[in-house]
Each structure stands twice: as C-alpha cells, then as structure tokens.
Amino acid sequence: MSTPDAPVIEIRDLHKSYGPLEVLKGVDLVAPRGHVVSLIGSSGSGKSTLLRCCNLLEESQQGEIKFEGESVRWRGEGHERHPADRAQVTRMRTNLSMVFQQFNLWSHMTILQNVMEAPVTVLKRDPKEVEEKARHYLAKVGIADKAEAWPAMLSGGQQQRAAIARALCMEPRALLFDEPTSALDPELEQEVVKVIKALADEGRTMILVTHDMKLAADVSDHVIFLHKGKIEEEGPPERLFGNPQTERLRGFLSATAA
C-alpha cells in the first residue's frame, strides 16, 4: 500500500526498448511530494519515453516503478513483462494527470465538457460537483470565459490551458507535462509558462519534459539531463545551468542558447 511520506513517483534502474532499440538504459527518477522535476536533453534522448513510463502508458522491460511507496506489480520478464494488476494500474494512472504537446481536446465537446469528462466518466463523480470544480480550474488558468466555447474557437495557448484545467480537474497527486509549450508560438507559449509557474509556486508535484531551459531553471527543484537513454548529469537547477560538470551538458546548453 502507499505511504504518505514516500515520493509520489520513484523509478529505479528503468530499461525500455522498442524491439532491438534500447531507449532507456537504467534510469532513476525520484519526484518527492511538492517538488518539480524537469527532464531535459536532445530529441531522442528518452525524455518523453521516461515520462510515459511514469504513468504506465509505456511498458518497461526492467526496473522498479513506485507510486507513493507502492510498487507496480509485474508478471513476465523482458519484452514479456506486463503489469500484473490492471486495477492497480488504473488507480495509479488516475492520480497522475498528463498534459501532452498536442492538446487532445475533444472537438465535439465544449471546453467545460472536456474538463468534466474524465472525473464524471472515469471517477464517477457527481456532475454538479465536477462542474463547479471545472469552472474553478478554468478560472485558475485564466479562461473562465471560454467554458462554453468549442476547442476550434480557441488559440493554441488557450487550448493548452484548457488541457491543464482538464488535468487539474482530476485532482491528481502529480502532473506530468510532455513538452507543453513546444507546439506554440512564443507569445502563446508565455501564457502556458505563466500557468505552469503558478502551479509550481503552489507546491504541486510535477514532472516536466521541456525544451524551455528558462522554464526548467525557474520552476524546478531538480533537473535531469538525459543523453542517449542515460542520465548524463542531474542536480539542482542552479548548479546544472550555472556550473554544468559534463562536456555533453555544456554543449547542449550552448546549443539551446544559440
């Protein structure tokens, strides 16, 4: 069973392959309650795969995944390894809300309906109570006036903020962000960055995959630099960005600053 003082997410020696292609080669990650962990690195380094393994959207071949101290139970080994308890997976996943690069809003539902959908259908919560919370979270991300609008009527930044409100409405233990600003132009990107910073200031547990080094530096308690499926360097943002220890990280930061 879960323990309240345990990290929300803890991963040890995680290996993930797609056939012969090894994407994660023994990665560790710990996200304590109330902390923001950012994953940075070049395209193909394994960042998004690691994030998707956190909430079991991807199945790994080796290693331990814990949610609030409770280990995922597995059966089989290697590429035959799968979660042994689907109910456990569902319970864990409903407490880990993910915000994707593409907004993934239902086009045939209003913004309010999009935000309400999962708590009502998955968690079986009372629609009236969910609507009140949904409107609260839409206000929180600054688009209360868009509740009755259709997704196509919103800008990209507004749609991503709606996606964040949808994630918040599940009232998860942690938020997982997969490049939440990379599909946006710079002006709209700042709308979403502002929301993410406000959530970090509230002490929410978050794991953030991002190409935005300033965002990672501003909101993170811990930063992990991945290179070819391994952790090349990790630590507090002031050290990683202010005094990188490895040549690879120095090169990466130099390239992203160019």
What is the secondary structure of 91-137 as a DSSP string? HHHHTEEEE-SS----TTS-HHHHHHHHHHHTS---HHHHHHHHHHH
- Looking at residues 21-33, what average pLDDT do you find? 97
Which of these ranges, 3-7, 165-169, 181-185, 213-217, has the smallest mean pLDDT?
3-7
Last residue of a domain, one of 145, 171, 197: 171
Residue 112's domain comprises 104-171
**How confident is the model at residue 258, as a pLDDT?**
65
Q: 131 with 228, same domain?
A: no
Averaged pLDDT, 238-249: 96
Strand partners, 9: 31, 67
Indicate if 216 and 256 belong to the same structural domain: yes
Say what the pLDDT of residue 89 is: 95
If asked whether residues 140 and 201 sit together in one domain, one would say no
Number of domains, the chain? 2
Query: What pLDDT, on the 0 to 100 scale, is given for residue 86?
Result: 95
Phi-psi region of 244 (alpha: psi -120 to 50; beta: other; left: phi over 0): beta
The answer to whether 51 touches 209, Cβ cutoff 8 Å, is yes
CA-based angle 224:23:62, to the nearest 5? Answer: 90
pLDDT digit string, tens, across residues 114-129: 999 999 999 999 999 9
Same domain, 76 and 204: yes
| 80 and 138 housed in the same domain | no
Question: In Å, how far are 18, 68, 73, 81 from 1, measured between CA atoms?
Answer: 31, 8, 12, 22
Mean pLDDT to the nearest integer, 219-238: 97
Residue listed under structure tokens 């990672």: 216
Q: Within this chain, do residues 179 and 236 fall inside the same structural domain, yes or no?
A: yes
pLDDT band for 95, please (50, 70, 90 cuts): very high
Kindly indicate the confidence band of residue 1, based on its pLDDT and cuts at 50, 70 and 90: low
pLDDT at 182: 87
In 3D space, the residue among 119, 98, 105, 22 whose CA is nearest the CA of residue 61 turns out to be 22
| Confidence at 2, pLDDT banded by 50, 70, 90 | low
Considering the domain architecture, whether residues 153 and 240 belong to the same structural domain is answered as no
130-170 pLDDT, tens digit each:
999 999 999 999 999 999 999 999 999 999 999 999 999 99
For residues 142 and 251, membership in a common domain is answered with no
pLDDT, one tens digit per residue, over 63-90 is 999 999 999 999 999 999 999 999 999 9
Confidence of residue 183 (pLDDT cuts 50, 70, 90): confident
pLDDT at 97 over 90: yes
Last residue of a domain, one of 171, 193, 215: 171
Mean pLDDT estimate for the chain: 95
Do both 71 and 119 map to the same domain? no
184 and 115 belong to one structural domain: no
The answer on 154 and 54 residing in a single domain is no
Residue 196 pLDDT:
95
Can you tell me the mean pLDDT for 220-243? Answer: 97
CATH number of the domain bearing residue 18: 3.40.50.300
Same domain membership, residue 185 and residue 165: no
**pLDDT band for position 5 (50/70/90)?**
confident
Last residue of a domain, one of 119, 149, 171: 171
